Amino acid sequence: MAVSSSLILSPLHFNFIANNKDINKNLSFLSANPLIFNISSKPTNINKGSSIVLCSYKSGSGLTAEDKRVLRERYGFDPNEYISEAKNERIKEGKKQGKGKELVAEEEAKVHRTTHKLLQVLGGKAKRKKLLSPKGMDVRPMMEVVKGAAFDILQAADGCPASLRPGRWLDLYSGTGSVGIEAISRGCSEAHFVEMDPWVVSNVLQPNLEWTGFLDASVIHPVRVETFLEQADRFSGNGPFDYISVTPPYTQVDYGMLMSQISKSPIVGENTFIVVEYPLRTDMLDSCGCLVKIKDRRFGRTHLAIYGPKWAQKKRKSDKTLQNTT
Q: How far apart are CA 214 and CA 266, in angstroms?
A: 26
- Classify 124 in phi/psi space as left (phi over 0), alpha (psi -120 to 50) or beta: left
Domains, the chain, ordered by start = 132-317 (3.40.50.150)
Task: Give the pLDDT of residue 168.
Answer: 97
Give CA 103 to chain center in angstroms: 19
Task: Give the pLDDT of residue 25.
Answer: 47
Q: Are the beta carbons of 169 and 191 closer than 8 angstroms?
A: yes
Task: Give the pLDDT of residue 37.
Answer: 39
Reduced to 3 states (helix: H, G, I; strand: E, B; else coil), residue 211 is helix
For residue 58, count other CB atoms closer than 10 A to its CB: 16
Task: Give the pLDDT of residue 256.
Answer: 94
Q: How far apart are CA 258 and CA 249, in angstroms?
A: 12
List, run by run, the mean pLDDT of 10-residue segments along the chain (326 residues). 40 40 46 43 45 37 62 62 57 62 56 87 96 81 92 90 92 97 97 96 97 97 96 88 95 93 96 96 93 94 94 68 51
Residue 42 contacts by C-beta under 8 Å, 6 or more apart in sequence? 2
